[in-house]
A and B are shown apart, each in its own frame.
Chain A
Amino acid sequence: MTGQKSFPLPSSVAVVPGTEAAQAAYPYYTQFGPDDDARFWFYNSMHFPEPMHHFDMITAEAAYCALGAFNTRVHVLPTTKGIDHRIVNGRVYIGGVPVTDPVEIAERQELFQQRAFYYYEHWERLYDQWKVKMKALIGEAQALPPVELPDWEPIETTHTGKGVASNHALLDTYRRQLEGYYRMWQHHFEFLLLGYGAYLTFFDFCKRAFPEISDQTISRMVAGMEAEIFRPDEEVRRLARRAVELGVDGAFGEGMSVEEMFAGLDAQGNSGAAWRDELQASRDPWFNVNVGDGFYHYHRSWNDDLSMPFSALPGYIAKVRAGETIDRPVEQLIRERDQLVADYRDLLDSDADRATYDQLITLAHRVFPYVEGHKFYCEHWYTNLFFNKIREFGALLATHGFFAEEADVFHLTHYEVESAIVDLSLAWSSGSPPLGPKRWPGIVAERKAAIAAWGDHRVPPALGVVPDVIDDPAIVMLWGITRENLDRWLDDDGDDDGRELKGFAASSGVVEGPARVVTSAAEIGTLRQGEILVCQVTNPSWAPIFQKIAAAVSDIGGSMSHMAIVAREYGLPAVVGTGSATQRIRTGQRIRVDGGRGVVTILDEVLADA
């Protein structure tokens, strides 16, 4: 291949007019500089598909601090270090840091074997220990005091000789909550790359032994069946069964709001109350799943918004009434997985290959419970606690006139939130009014407008010169970025008539039907039986609605994503990672989903405005 292909250089990307101040407000270490033109960057649309609120950048920051620490300094991956990130027009671009010097690689390889192999060897013990650590961390966050600033210090402060006033506790709580979030992300990456690495090693072997095997088949061979992340959906199924057993199933109807369903329950007296007790048992902790990937403050949890699980109840209840078994057939799924592993093993040509295959599948099965299970604790449970705590600060600051509503707090960076807390703390202690109410409302308005402007602004999928080979295993593993993909992006100038969208083949089958574009959890309730779900981000917590849809399409996601596994479990065609399905498809349009090829076709004559 001759002629170097290139995306726009970072320095050539103009900040959207009118948003300069909002752009400048992101931390200085996230701003593109002149040196960055020499590197390759790509838009991390997988984790950050929407323009970033200033506060939400803490997720990128904490995650890359932790990812890099474990790659670079703890496990010492031989050929890759961490990830650098920058933000422009609200979009997070990232760049890998590969190791290329053979001497350095050799040195790192030595260290890697001492460290990573120790983890693989003691995986179960370390993972058990990890769960203890995570639960303790969650416990600490739950134990943080409520965010409040009383007019008068409680009398207990006097009687106990506490010697610390509420304004100090406020700052302390904020800093401890931030500390917990950064710590959670460290735990998150303690195992993750090693887990993906073991999985990818098996994946590579399968691709060489069976050149035409699909990605989905390999992930089916490895998938665990009892990970925590399946549990929320299992709880919804349990609640549906209990509703029928208690005779309160009449309270749940297709298209009803959560409030209407609760009203129906309350009319059922003791039985209704008994079901509410069941609900309570499920909610703690299993409804601590959020409706996104857990990277944005507005990805609320089921506990914060019951519409997701409740919208799934009527469908499950109908199945229970019809005498269908709705429990996940775990044993059967495990049998099928083991049969798949055995059948592929039989196809191998030599004893040597069978021995290697056994080694690799054993290791992959060993690491996968973490790869699947960690998300419930990290991206869901802890993240929900974290953002809800920040909401409490938002509510307090709003009460003191810093801005209009609690969610406005997310338009401030985490440094700015701390400064506002200090401002409030000073004002509370001195007895004079805080200065924030004069400063923040204008800034919040400016940033709100910026987020809206950035949302309408298309950004290049990558910046800088395309490397000949994407050889950074972290980048390939986590983002599926390959030279082939980049070439596709570069050529993506639309030679079709706009009716065809390509993505990853996540679950095979072909289905035609009406589309339902769902961009927020609030719209989940609008889904009707037999519709095709079109959403930005697919997430395991959406599993309950899979019983009522005919197929699924998403903007973001890879064939290894958990949602792909759920789709396969339900036997539904799914195409993930289309990039723009929610923008190009309109609710009500007839579409065809070909999950085997990864293609979505808009069948209606009239196309939506681009």
Chain B
Amino acid sequence: MREAIAWFADVGLADRPTVGGKGASLGELTRAGIAVPPGFVVTTRAFELFLAALEARAPVRARIETCDADDLDAVTALSQEMRTRVVEEPLPPEVEGALLAAHHELCGGDGAPVAVRSSATTEDAADASFAGLQDTFLWVIDPADLVARVRECWGSLYSVESITYRRRQAFPESGVAMAVVVQRMVDASVAGVMFTRSPTTGDKSVVTIEGAWGLGSSVVSGEVTPDRWVIGKITGEISTRDISDKHIEHRPVASGGVEERAVPDDRRRIACVDDATLQQLREIGRKVERHYGAAQDIEWAVDRDGRVLLLQSRPETIWSNRTTAPVAAPTDNPFAHVLGVFGRRP
């Protein structure tokens, strides 16, 4: 991927080094026929061009590699300096041109809102915590604002936490790059997350869905206790329905950005997702899981037309990394299993 911009439909998991984890996953989902809001990735190529311009003024990577991760004051000062430089540095003209052209193609110049999300190449399945350090900007409308947000995403590579994390893990800075996902925003009536195995017991036969009114950011950030359903992955049977009091929702602001609003009383304590949509989500979850061959941790949204869209899918990490002992070993005489029922003592 030698271009500054790559459309979702043109990338897959193999492109992770240039489009980052999030970008690669969205491309992979798009290719697998899963409904994803359309978008593109500002690739690491764009970042490299930007960094080259930055390095031309003064060293960046060398400074990071030589800093002492245990000296918090020094790291904080370095972080501040680097982020200021990133925010002040103009985009190389070819990058800015490509970005604005792609944005125009995506939104048709009619001011459709986009989400701008960092997509780090070092973000990997085994380390979700690092992924959590990256930035997401919702409901970005103005092209100039878009450019600034892309730069901010890049700047997040130089946050105190990111620098400290990389130094402790001894990642070489030459391998550190940041892609940025630009995606049409879904004006979600309801949104949430879905795990294709139980987060509490690891059970692979159930899908757990959590959702709340409005944009999914309220669920991801934990500001709302979402409704929660447990559904048999194979049977579709809804075994748990925990309907909570969803007191607030995240709603877009016309001029850009997102605000928190109180949920009217008549919607607070009712289920935010109907059964048919839950079943649709289950089907999508199964499809994605089959595509990847592993349990998934998914973000989803339902738009104003009732369409279900996936915003993100990544491999579930907690249970998948555990080794589990077999439930019961086979026996020479299959009848001997019944002794477990008739012969067991507490």
On A, residues with C-beta under 8 Å from B are 77-80, 100, 102, 105, 109, 112-113, 116-117, 120-121, 194, 197-198, 200-201, 204-205, 208-214, 216-217, 220, 340, 343-344, 347-350, 352-353, 355-356, 358-360, 362-363, 469, 471, 473, 477, 505, 508, 510, 594, 596-597
Contacts and interface: CB of A to CB of B under 8 A. Distances in A.
B326 A112 contact: no
A201 B337 contact: yes
Interface string B176-204: 00000000000000000000001001111
B335 A344 contact: no
23 contacts: A79-B343, A105-B343, A112-B342, A117-B336, A120-B335, A121-B335, A201-B338, A208-B327, A212-B203, A212-B239, A214-B232, A214-B235, A340-B234, A347-B234, A352-B326, A353-B327, A353-B328, A356-B326, A356-B328, A356-B337, A358-B330, A360-B334, A597-B240
B342 A78 contact: yes
B333 interface: yes
Contact of B234 (A79, A344, A473): A344
A204 B239 contact: no
A352 B337 contact: no
**Interface size band for B:** 35 or more
A417 to B, nearest CB: 38
Given A212-B205, A355-B330, A79 B239 contact: no
Contacts of A117: 333, 335-336
B238 interface: yes
A205 B328 contact: yes
A471 B346 contact: yes
Nearest to B232: A217
Interface string B201-217: 11111100000000000
A265 B169 CA distance: 88
B339 interface: yes
A349 B197 CA distance: 13
Given A344-B234, A505-B239, A79 B326 contact: no
A100 to B, nearest CB: 8
B341 A200 contact: yes
A363 B335 contact: yes
Contacts of B144: none
Contact of B339 (A100, A109, A205): A109
Given A100-B345, A210-B206, A473-B341, 8 more contacts: A80-B342, A112-B343, A204-B340, A211-B198, A214-B239, A217-B232, A356-B331, A359-B330
Given A78-B339, A204-B341, A347-B205, A212 B238 contact: no
A446 to B, nearest CB: 45
B291 interface: no
A569 to B, nearest CB: 14
B323 to A, nearest CB: 9
Given A208-B327, A213-B232, A349-B326, A77 B342 contact: yes
A204 B340 CA distance: 9
Contacts of A112: 339, 342-343
B261 interface: no
B204 A347 contact: yes
Contacts of B235: 214, 217, 220, 340
Interface in B78-137: none
Contact of B237 (A210, A211, A347, A508): A508
B201 A211 contact: yes
Nearest to A98: B345
Given A79-B344, A117-B333, A344-B205, A212 B230 contact: yes
Given A116-B335, A356-B326, A210 B342 contact: no
B120 to A, nearest CB: 31
B346 to A, nearest CB: 5
Contacts of B238: 508, 596
B165 to A, nearest CB: 32
A124 to B, nearest CB: 14
A210 B205 contact: yes
Interface string B152-170: 0000000000000000000
A197 B335 CA distance: 10
Given A359-B331, A469-B346, A596 B338 contact: no
Given A214-B232, A349-B324, A363-B335, A78 B237 contact: no
Nearest to A102: B345
B329 interface: yes
Contact of A471 (B338, B340, B345): B345
B103 to A, nearest CB: 43
Contacts of A194: 338
Q: What 5 pairs across the A-B complex have the smallest Cβ distances?
A: A359-B334, A355-B330, A211-B201, A352-B326, A210-B205
B241 interface: yes
Contacts of B203: 210-213
A360 B337 contact: yes
A126 B336 CA distance: 19
A116 B341 CA distance: 13
Contact of A596 (B205, B206, B241, B337): B241
A594 B271 CA distance: 14
Interface string B302-346: 000000000000000000000010111111011111111111111
B69 to A, nearest CB: 39
A217 B231 CA distance: 12
A216 B239 CA distance: 10
